[in-house]
């Protein structure tokens, strides 16, 4: 063992000398760790990280349109679902000055005659101040949820981007663009605060 250590000693000594010199000069390896941001996390000099609280952060009610079957998700007082899929995402337009909410809902009866309703919607939720543009969205940009409805009450799905309030099955006709006393299949979306990076176009 002493022969092995002795054979490597000429290599170890110069290495220790170099490490010592670097330590005296205050140098350290260039690495990404807990105290160092990656290049993707660095904010350009003319930009700032802002929290956007959309004016009126509740969106909807959105009503999906009748696609197939009759107008009800269940005969009489029985419930045949529906199986519900909801989707919401945030998108920046081509000018990079507007932030849009894109959302959709599909509801399908779980038994014959497989009544289906679906719809998609687009809402402008934020416009950057004049002279500024949206460099990127730092918080969650996509939310999805699915479930099979088993009552005639509002159901809630919470995500990191938003909360979905969903009315699937109702007491009366569910779809066919019929709204009687507010009783119809529909969705509401409550956005959480959105973090964006705004950059100054004038610099």
Q: What is the pLDDT of residue 96?
A: 96
Q: What is the pLDDT of residue 79?
A: 76
pLDDT in tens, 46-60: 899 999 988 778 998
Report the 10 Å Cβ neighbour count for 11: 8
Q: φ and ψ at 30, to 5 degrees? A: -85, 105
Helical (H) or strand (E) element with 16: helix 2-25
pLDDT in tens, 186-197: 999 999 999 999
pLDDT in tens, 87-98: 999 999 999 999
Statement: residue 180 has pLDDT above 70: no
Q: What is the pLDDT of residue 4?
A: 40
Q: Could you tell me the pLDDT band of residue 43, with boundaries at 50, 70 and 90?
A: low
Statement: residue 178 has pLDDT above 80: no
Q: What is the pLDDT of residue 74?
A: 78
Full strand arrangement of the beta sheet holding 58-62: 58-62, 186-191, 162-167, 155-158
> Average of pLDDT values for 116-137?
96
Output the CA angle 170-74-117, nearest 5 degrees. 70
Residue 163's closest CA among 189, 182, 201? 189
The alpha carbon of 86 is separated from its chain's Cα centroid by a whole number of angstroms, namely: 12
């Amino acid at each position: 063992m002493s022969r092995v250590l002795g054979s490597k000693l000429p290599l170890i000594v110069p290495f220790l000398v170099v490490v010592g010199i670097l330590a005296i000069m205050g140098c350290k390896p260039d690495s990404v760790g807990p105290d160092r941001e990656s290049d993707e996390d660095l904010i350009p000099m003319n930009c700032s990280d802002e929290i956007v609280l959309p004016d009126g952060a509740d969106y909807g009610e959105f009503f999906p349109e009748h696609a197939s079957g009759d107008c009800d998700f269940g005969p009489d007082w029985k419930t045949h679902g529906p199986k519900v899929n909801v989707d919401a995402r945030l998108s920046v337009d081509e000018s990079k000055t507007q932030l849009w909410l894109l959302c959709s809902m599909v509801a399908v009866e779980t038994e014959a005659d497989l009544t289906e309703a679906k719809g998609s919607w687009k809402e402008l939720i934020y416009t950057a101040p004049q002279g500024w543009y949206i460099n990127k969205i730092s918080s969650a940009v996509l939310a999805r949820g699915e479930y099979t409805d088993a009552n005639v009450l509002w159901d809630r799905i919470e995500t990191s981007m938003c909360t979905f309030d969903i009315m699937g099955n109702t007491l009366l006709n569910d779809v066919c663009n019929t709204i009687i006393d507010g009783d119809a299949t529909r969705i509401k979306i409550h956005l959480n605060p959105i973090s964006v990076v705004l950059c100054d176009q004038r610099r």
